[in-house]
Structure 1
Amino acid sequence: MAMKRYEMRADIYKFVLGEQDPDTGSFPDSTWDYDNPRNVRATGGSVRTWQSIEKFLRVDQGSYANESWIQLFMPFRPDLDDRVGSIKNKAGEIIYANEDGTATVFNVRGVFPQVDVNGKTIDYHVVCARVQIQP
């Protein structure tokens, strides 16, 4: 059964490396550029009913995770370290929002080219998981 795809727009946030710490070799100031997103058109929707994927990681310790996954189809190929957010419907309304009303942000977890019968890439299937700690 094919998923019904809805027209929408989404912001892509690029990951930006900060300056490298010469002592540790780490990049402590690295973050996503939320101030300069790339707005792209997309279609897609939830992989499952919103907030329906639950995992009990260590039942003996009471660990619990609730994951929300979405899939988008877009002509732009995001990188796996990008984030997606501010996903809006055709009317400009935010589709995925946190309890406080802010737009939900997702990590890109997979990018798969979709090709036509001639082998030409027509768009990219982008699978995203909700960021556990929202920015």
Structure 2
Amino acid sequence: MADTRIHKILLHRAVAPEMQMMSILQDQYTGREMLDLLIYVAEDVIMAHRCLVAAYMKKASIKQGKAGCMYKLYLPKTSRDVIKSLLGLVYFGCLECNLYQVAQVQLAAKQLGFSEAEEACRRYLEAVGEAA
């Protein structure tokens, strides 16, 4: 009689699976591949992974919709640089913006429900205010 037990095959990777997954998503983002979210901003269209953005941005209405479809998010009063800053935090763990953009990034983060970015901007603005 054949052995019908289920065996787990463990693969020991040099890189943790979650790090490997993020690396793949980063490569897809920078290569503009496999992206299903179009973000229309004041002067441009930015592409991203809807599932990843939806996990961070709680108020964005991108959670509804069918899988496999291109989804559009309209932010006509938001600049390209502000959205790129927020996506930088999503994909690379780094919120990059200059001093003049911080308030705009914080406002966009608040509107989209991106609490981590909003809090980071608030802390930064407090630190700059205390240093002045």
Task: Please say whether Structure 1 and Structure 2 have the same fold, judged by a TM-score greater than 0.5.
Answer: no
Q: Could you state the TM-score of these two structures normalised by the residue count of structure 1?
A: 0.24
Structure 1 or 2: more helix by fraction: 2
- Greater relative contact order (Cα 8 A, min sep 6): structure 1 or 2? 1
